[in-house]
Structure 1
Amino acid sequence: MRELSKRTAGFTDSVIRRMTRISNQFGAINLSQGFPDFEPPKEITDRLVQVAAEGPHQYAVTWGAQNFREALAKKQEHFSGMQIDPNSEIVITCGSTEAMMAVMLSVTNPGDKVIIFSPFYENYVADTILSGAQPIYVPLNPPSFAFDADVLEDAFKQNAKALILCNPSNPCGKVFSKEELKIIADLAIKYDTYVITDEVYEHIIYEPYKHTYLATLPGMRERTIECSSLSKTYSITGWRLGYVIAPPEVIDRVKKVHDFLTVGAAAPLMETAIVGLKFGDEYYKQLQEHYTHMKKLFITGLTDLNLTFTEPQGAYYVLVDISEFGYKSDLKFCEDLASKVGVGAVPGSSFFNEDVNHLIRFHFAKKDETLYKALDNLSEIRNKLK
């Protein structure tokens, strides 16, 4: 048989999704893959029942049902302050995963360079490779996960076509300040570079931090391509409803790529999710309070267990330092953590370009009882892994 693709020869499976399978194998509490164990808002699930009976059940418009795009545009306008044309500036995708892939294929040519902050969500590197581009890594330096502006400019100087910005960041929970975003914006303008943002955690922010939409900064509307989804905001990660918001000339290309990637997002789920897009400010206030409660519960527990961690500013992940346990492999540590302690985590090395083997990632988008049980299991960590 002839050889398979060289482009994908170095791929492994997703380490995050692998750790879910390992957690399931050992009956461990899954704090690895970032999905909640609580239900979506009742208004959404009630509407789902109605739509299941009434439809629509056939293809929607390829780039998203008209009423869904209109509702999304109004919701995003409310929070960003930008006017968004639902017909020329939005494409609805099968999750933000497809959104990012469609954008990368639309923006980059083989051989183009793409700046990626490290640590990063693992799909960014895969998307870069699949589109034939080359990653340039810029470190976010712990514990604050700040970047060095000179190092970042050195990356831009390599004729980078695009930069990928996850804000708030998965896995480190960093919320980029307005000052940091201005540095990125100024460099993007100076070197004529697109910025592809992943803003899926835009509504999961902890006081006193605030989310700033990069596209709202001077000169950035025309070069910012926002990828996001409804997954985290409405606790519907399995629905795979994502979107791209960008200038019309970019969206025109993304529409075509999206069409040949997946044809379109699920029509009944778009119809259902409109209910969520029309929620008032009180919903987002309660969402923030809910996640603030879960964060406090979990990091208080980690503190009581004398574990070293970085407190997140946004999103729902915690990086924990496992240096004290003496493992040479963070993957092996996570496998043992699932099998011997009963808690699932993700090895930090899957998020870093640098040689990092002393961090693991937990997520805390779980019910109180789930988090208390996980912390109870973790209370035995030193007995079982040292």
Structure 2
Amino acid sequence: MNLRTPLIESRLPAVGTTIFTLMSALAQEHGAVNLGQGFPDFDCDPKLIDAVDQAMRHGLNQYPPMTGVPALREAVAAKVAALYGHVYDAGAEITITAGATQAILTAILAIVHPGDEVIVLDPCYDSYEPNIILAGGRAVHVPLTPGSFRPDFDRIAAALSPRTRAIIVNTPHNPSATVWSADDMRRLAELLRPTDVIVIADEVYEHMVYDGQAHQSAARFPELAARSFIVSSFGKTYHVTGWKVGYAAAPAPLMAEFRKVHQFNVFTVNTPMQHGLAAYMADPSPYLELPAFYQRKRDLFRAGLAKTRFSLLPSEGSYFQCVDYSAISDDSEEAFCRRLTREFGVAAIPLSAFYPGGFEQHIVRFCFAKKDATLEQALDRLARL
């Protein structure tokens, strides 16, 4: 018998195990405090669990509509209208997704054809380029300004071409924790005005913006809203990343194409969790209070880091804090993170992992979405550096 497994040509030959998986495994191996991967180590609101439990016990356990439970889509539309002033039609313009990562992949597969270009702004979330490759497109990498991580609109303008199908914008930004200003969004709208370029707005940290700033959603700007897929995450907002539930909002013609792909890559999303989230969203206070909740954690963490030899970069949004370790070590970022995990018991992520081919700046990223006790334990260990 011939039991040989056929050889295939990889669709993603450059993709291996992610740095997040590697660092989390190293953290577990050495009993380190894991401030690398971006997830909370505390529980969500028990009321949210109760809402999902009630949905399950009331028999809401079969397939929901492909586009998502109507009550949840309506709750999303109401939230976006209240916060950003743009009215989406819940029936035709909002789709519930299996997390934000699936929403981004689905948007790219819906609009990108072989040979199309998609502008990505580095450093960026690691799923963007593989998604573009799977669609047959080409990622055009434009760096954010080193040091400040502000968008360089001259370089973005230079990257636009007749082949540009889309640009991916992430604010609040992972990994740099910067946020785009209203002027930034208006400048983007101005650049794209004479084009048919679509915006994929990754806004999963929309409710984590600090120091009195407001999140500048693409939905706030009519020119951008008319050409954007806006993606967000219930997992990030409600501390339930493992539930993998998010949503996309877009004008009806764009959403119609999105749904063509969505129905065949996931079809639909966990029914009782959708009903539970819809009921829980009737009270807006959990997401309205989130900036203060995470700003307190950010400030606690930054106060502790200020007593170390790290140099702190600004943390304007998201639940990340980047630091420069130039005063501590000449190691590469990955080598430093590995040593930090093995010898000092704290896991971080090298910023170079968010650049194609790596880009060394002696900067690493910590996640402060942790219990106070976890942060204090990490700070005690980092003080030994």
With structure 2 as the length reference, what TM-score do the two structures score? 0.94
Separation of aligned partners in 2, 1:151 and 1:183: 13
How far apart are residue 2 of structure 1 and its match? 4.3
- Cα deviation digits, residues 143-189 of structure 1 (max 9, x gap): 32122221110011363110000011000011101111111111122
Is 2:335 the partner of 1:332?
yes
1:238 to 238, 242, 251: 242
Equivalent residue number for residue 133 of structure 1:
137
1:291 to 277, 290, 294: 294
- Which region of structure 1 is more displaced relative to structure 2, 368-377 or 15-24? 15-24
Contact residue 195 and residue 223 of structure 1 kept, 8 A: yes
Equivalent residue number for residue 346 of structure 2:
343
Separation of aligned partners in 2, 1:349 and 1:28: 21
How far apart are residue 357 of structure 1 and its match? 5.2
Is 2:304 the partner of 1:301?
yes
Indicate the SS of the match to 2:225: coil
Separation of aligned partners in 2, 1:3 and 1:358: 40
Separation of aligned partners in 2, 1:143 and 1:208: 23
1:31 to 28, 32, 35: 35
- Cα deviation digits, residues 184-241 of structure 1 (max 9, x gap): 1111222221010000111100013221122332422221111111111111111111
Equivalent residue number for residue 87 of structure 2:
83
Indicate the SS of the match to 1:323: coil
Equivalent residue number for residue 121 of structure 1:
125
Equivalent residue number for residue 384 of structure 1:
none
Distance 1:56 1:5, change over 3 A: farther
Separation of aligned partners in 2, 1:369 and 1:380: 18
Equivalent residue number for residue 57 of structure 2:
53
How far apart are residue 67 of structure 1 and its match? 1.6
2:273 to 253, 269, 275: 269
Runs of 4+ with deviation above 4 angstroms: none
How far apart are residue 355 of structure 1 and its match? 2.1
Equivalent residue number for residue 104 of structure 2:
100
- Which region of structure 1 is more displaced relative to structure 2, 159-168 or 6-15? 6-15
AA in 1 matched with 2:316? Q
Separation of aligned partners in 1, 2:8 and 2:226: 39
Separation of aligned partners in 2, 1:215 and 1:313: 20
Equivalent residue number for residue 315 of structure 1:
318
Indicate the SS of the match to 2:224: coil
Distance 1:52 1:21, change over 3 A: farther
Separation of aligned partners in 1, 2:194 and 2:219: 16
Distance 1:84 1:120, change over 3 A: same
Separation of aligned partners in 2, 1:217 and 1:285: 21
Separation of aligned partners in 2, 1:377 and 1:167: 31
Indicate the SS of the match to 2:119: strand
Equivalent residue number for residue 172 of structure 1:
176
Aligned length, in residue pairs: 380
- Cα deviation digits, residues 310-335 of structure 1 (max 9, x gap): 12110011112223344443222212
AA in 1 matched with 2:304? G
How far apart are residue 42 of structure 1 and its match? 2.3
State the superposition RMSD in angstroms. Answer: 1.6
How far apart are residue 276 of structure 1 and its match? 2.9
Distance 1:243 1:285, change over 3 A: closer
1:192 to 192, 196, 208: 196
Separation of aligned partners in 1, 2:222 and 2:95: 24
**Aligned residues with identical type, % of pairs:** 34
- Cα deviation digits, residues 9-57 of structure 1 (max 9, x gap): 1111221233222212221111111111111122202223323322311
Structure 2, gaps ≥5 residues long: none
With structure 1 as the length reference, what TM-score do the two structures score? 0.94
Alignment of 1:200-279 (within 5 A): 200-279=204-283
